[in-house]
Amino acid sequence: MRMRNKYRKPTTLLGYAGSRCSVSVVVWSLVGCLLLLHLYSLVHQKDGEGGVLQMRMNHHPLFRELEEVEEENIQIPPPRGKRSPRAAKRRPKRTTTLIDEFLDESSQLRHIFFPDQKTAVDPMKDAGNDSFCYFPGRIWLDTDGNPIQAHGGGILYDERSSTYYWYGEYKDGPTYHAHKKGAARVDIIGVGCYSSKDLWTWKNEGIVLAAEEEDETHDLHKSNVLERPKVIYNEETHKYVMWMHIDDTNYTKASVGVAVSDSPTGPFNYLYSKRPHGFDSRDMAIFKDDDGVAYLIYSSEDNSELHIGPLTQDYLDVTRVMRRILVGEHREAPALFKYQGTYYMITSGCTGWAPNEALAHAAESILGPWETMGNPCIGGNKVFRLTTFFAQSTFVLPLSGLSGSFIFMADRWNPADLRDSRYVWLPLTVGGAADQPLEYNFGFPLWSRVSIYWHKRWRLPYRWSEKK
Ligand X SMILES: *[C@@H]1O[C@H](CO)[C@@H](O)[C@H](O)[C@H]1NC(C)=O
Binding site for ligand X (CB under 6 A): 128-129, 179, 181, 248-250
Provide the minimum distance between the beta carbon of 391 and ligand X in the complex, in angstroms, as a whole number: 27
CB of 63 to ligand X, least distance (A): 21
Q: Which CB sits closer to ligand X, 143 or 249?
A: 249
**Minimum CB–partner distance for residue 333 and ligand X (Å):** 23
Residue whose CB is less far from ligand X, 185 or 230? 185
Q: Is the CB of 22 or the CB of 252 nearer to ligand X? A: 252
| Sequence-separated (6 or more) residues with CB below 8 Å from residue 24 | 17, 18
Cβ nearer to ligand X, comparing 89 with 179: 179
Q: Which is nearer to ligand X, 183 or 232 (CB)?
A: 183
The radius of gyration computed from the CA coordinates of the chain, to the nearest angstrom, equals 23
When the beta carbons of 179 and 320 are compared against ligand X, the nearer one is 179
**Contact (CB, 8 A) for 183 and 353:** yes
Nearer to ligand X, 212 or 248 (CB): 248
Least Å distance between CB 246 and ligand X? 14
CA 99 to chain centre: 21
Least Cβ distance, residue 181 to ligand X (angstroms): 6
For ligand X, which is the closer residue by CB, 264 or 461?
461
Nearest approach, Cβ of residue 250 and ligand X (Å): 4
With beta carbons less than 8 A apart as the criterion, state whether 189 and 207 touch. Answer: yes
Q: Which is nearer to ligand X, 159 or 216 (CB)?
A: 216
Between 48 and 182, CB nearer to ligand X = 182
State the minimum distance, in angstroms, from the CB of residue 130 to ligand X. 8
Query: Minimum distance from CB of 224 to ligand X (Å)?
Result: 9
Minimum CB distance to ligand X, residue 183 (Å): 11
Least CB distance from residue 349 to ligand X, whole Å? 24
